[in-house]
Amino acid sequence: MVDYPALAARIRALTEGEDDVIALMATVACEVHQSDERFDWTGFYRVTAPEMLKIGPYQGGHGCLVIPFSRGVCGAAARTGQVQLVPDVDAFPGHIACASSTRSELVLPVTGAGGSLIGVFDIDSNRPGAFTTTDAVALEAILAEVFGHL
C-alpha cells in the first residue's frame, strides 16, 4: 500500500513554487506511478476544448489521445466532477479500453482555483478491485494541494 503522507511530502517538495500545469502533472504522474505496483497506468487528461479531454503527462503504456466528456470513466469524472472508483471496468457502461490489460480504474477530477476543471487524473490497474476509498481520498488531497492555486 502507498504511504500517502510520505508521497504527499515528496510531491510537495518537488512542486513547491511551480505554477506550470504540465510540469506539475508530469511530476505528480511520475511520483504516484512509482509509489505502488498496483498502478499500471498513471496520468492526466487535460481539458483542451469544451467537453473534450486530451492526453497529458503519463507513465505506462500508450493511452487514448482524446476522450469526450460523454464517454468512458474519464469522461464521467470530467462531466460530473465526481471521483470515479471502478472495481471492474467491464461492468462500467461505455468504458473505453485504451489498454486491454486494464481491469480497474480510479479517476479524479483536477480543479484549479475557483473550482475550474483543469482535467482528470486517471490511474489504471491490471488487477480487478485494485483501488479503495482511502486511495481516492488521499489522492484528492494531493491534487487539491498541487493544483488548487492555479
Q: Is the pLDDT of residue 94 over 90?
A: no
Task: Give residue limits of the domains in the chain.
Answer: 4-147
Task: Taking residues 18-23, report their average pLDDT.
Answer: 98
Predicted pLDDT of residue 130: 98
For residue 100, what pLDDT band results from cuts at 50, 70 and 90?
A: confident
Element spanning 31, H or E: helix 21-34
- At residue 111, the pLDDT reads 98
Q: What is the mean pLDDT of residues 30-54?
A: 97
Q: How confident is the model over 113-125, as pLDDT tens digits?
A: 999 999 999 999 9
| Rounded-to-integer distance, Cα 47 and Cα 145, Å | 19
What's the CATH code, domain 4-147? 3.30.450.40
Per residue in 130-145, pLDDT tens?
A: 999 999 999 999 999 9
Q: Which among 74, 40, 73 has a CA at the least distance from the CA of 54? A: 74
Q: Give the SS3 label for residue 40.
A: coil
- pLDDT for 68: 97
Contact 109, 78 (CB under 8 A): yes
Q: What's the pLDDT at 105?
A: 97
**Mutual orientation of helices 133-147 and 21-34 as an angle, nearest 10°?**
150
pTM over 0.85: yes
- Residues ≥6 apart with Cβ < 8 Å to 78: 45, 47, 53, 69, 109, 117, 119, 120
Cell of 27: 511530476
Report the alpha-carbon distance of residue 137 to residue 143 in Å, rounded.
10
Which whole-number Å values give the CA distances from 130 to 34, 96, 105, 108, in the listed order? 16, 18, 8, 15
pLDDT-derived band at 98 (thresholds 50, 70, 90) equals confident
Can you give the pLDDT at residue 25? 98
User: How many C-beta atoms lie closer than 10 Å to residue 140's C-beta?
Assistant: 15
Mean of pLDDT values over 53-78:
97
pLDDT, position 118: 98
